Amino acid sequence: MQHETFHYPALSDVQSAAEKLNAFVPLKEDLSPLYQPLQLGAKTADNRIAFQPMEGTDGTESGAPDKLTIRRYERFAKAGPGLIWFEAVATVPEGRASAHQLMLTEDNVDEYARLLDHMREISLKENGYAPVIVMQATNSGRYSKPTGVPDPIIAYNCPPLEDTPLPEWRIVTDDQLRRYEEAFGRAAKLCRKAGFDGMDVKCCHRYLACELLSAYTRPGEYGGSYENRTRFLKNAYRAAKSEVSGDFFLSSRMNVYDGFPYPYGFGVHEGSLEPDLQEPIRLIRELKDEFGIPLINVTMGNPYKNPHVNRPYDRGNYVPDEHPLEGVSRMMKGLSEIQHAIPDLPVLGSAFSYLRQHSPNLASAMVDGGHCAMAGFGRMAFAYPDFVQDCRRDGCISGRSVCVTCGGCAQLLRAGTPAGCIIRDREVYKL
Ligand SMILES: Cc1cc2nc3c(=O)[nH]c(=O)nc-3n(C[C@H](O)[C@H](O)[C@H](O)COP(=O)(O)O)c2cc1C
């Protein structure tokens, strides 16, 4: 079904479109709720805007930040979000999503440290505060492409993602999983050494830790029961926790809904494709109680099979059978359900960019209404990072500078080339 492209010049236009669809898209004119500080354990974020992890595929072959990586984080730091969730950084070479995905090692940790110092310096100079910076530690699992060609490490054969089952040897063994858990320990040690404020044990978008959450059909210690499906994530936390101390924190970006039918999706109702957040809520509570996570970064979907679930859009090759506002609504409802179930744990939300110039209004209403504590922006950060200070200063942002959800940045990422905004940053990024 082809939906009309974005045509909501006024906030009231979004409101009436959402009402027609019975979609949950709260909006608030006053943006001041976004500019309140937020306590995250021992750290304080200056404001409620976060930049979500956005992989740039522009690291050096050894995994260090290269020129374009540095340029991106300079732009992000200057913009002044309260928190920057630094993109996916590989924990093992074979779990890299591309030959240019970042990978933190003993040999390059100083380069990360320099970049972080530089980012804090820029933000302090421009904005008067430094952002909280969290590193996303990843094992790309099914989507590993360490030399540029797919070399999947899968948790189990998953029919919604495969036309034909992959050979048995692609299924990661329990022993390998134990080694991958330990790699998160080494990553945490390096991450702290580099000077990040915290580390994300990445558990989203069907990369390895996330795929295991739905491994109902996998035999052995890492499949079947809830305890087994969450074993890898918790052991990775244990490995990480044993390597760090002080005010360095752990957290996760977590898929609370995969959008695949049972028994292949986490957070999905057994008899339908509707979200069922009981297990995700249980898991987040357990991470809070056992590992003291000071926030949870909530997301949904799979960027390859159902990209509209994670990043609603109205242009691109693959047109989903739902209105983008329904995608926004599913995400906002999910955030709200989790925030209300665990009110003392700040929820960082995803998928705000679709609403373009109105996205700060959605963010403000979500924060003000207690539906989440922080609003995370992905594609908008590529297109128009300076929106953070523009909307603080002017109470609105320019429709001429916003992300147009064209999918160009994702296409660059898929091609394994440096990713950025092909519309607003076109001197650097071209398809
Ligand atoms: C080019 C590109 C790179 C991305 N890289 C990551 C990543 O490294 N880690 C992650 O968790 N999500 C990643 N995402 C997903 C975004 O963080 C975000 O969830 C998504 O774009 C939806 O948010 P938005 O509507 O604000 O763009 C990426 C998305 C795009 C388009």
Which atom of ligand 1 approaches the CA of 412 most closely? 1
Look at residue 320 in the predicted model and tell me its pLDDT. 78
For residue 87 and ligand 1, the question of a CB distance below 6 A is answered with yes
Look at residue 190 in the predicted model and tell me its pLDDT. 98
Look at residue 317 in the predicted model and tell me its pLDDT. 62
Sorted by where each begins, the domain ranges of the chain are: 11-414
**How many angstroms does the Cα of residue 97 sit away from the middle of ligand 1?**
14
Q: What is the mean pLDDT of each run of 10 residues along the chain (431 residues)?
A: 76 96 98 98 98 98 98 98 98 98 98 98 98 98 97 98 97 98 98 98 98 98 98 99 97 98 97 97 98 98 95 78 94 98 98 98 98 98 97 93 95 96 97 91
Look at residue 319 in the predicted model and tell me its pLDDT. 73
Look at residue 2 in the predicted model and tell me its pLDDT. 55
Look at residue 56 in the predicted model and tell me its pLDDT. 98
**How many angstroms does the Cα of residue 219 sit away from the middle of ligand 1?**
32
Which atom of ligand 1 approaches the CA of 376 most closely? 26
Look at residue 373 in the predicted model and tell me its pLDDT. 99
CATH topology of domain 11-414: TIM Barrel (3.20.20)
Give the global pTM.
0.98
For residue 204 and ligand 1, the question of a CB distance below 6 A is answered with yes
How far apart CA 106 and CA 320 sit, in angstroms, is 43
Look at residue 321 in the predicted model and tell me its pLDDT. 79
For residue 253 and ligand 1, the question of a CB distance below 6 A is answered with yes
Look at residue 311 in the predicted model and tell me its pLDDT. 95
> Taking Cα atoms as reference points, which of 141, 181, 103 lies closest to residue 304?
141
Is residue 81 within 8 Å of 51, Cβ to Cβ? yes
Pocket test residue of 6, 25, 55, 202 for ligand 1, highest count of atoms within 8 A of CB = 55
Look at residue 316 in the predicted model and tell me its pLDDT. 62
Which atom of ligand 1 approaches the CA of 351 most closely? 25
Which atom of ligand 1 approaches the CA of 253 most closely? 11
Look at residue 5 in the predicted model and tell me its pLDDT. 75
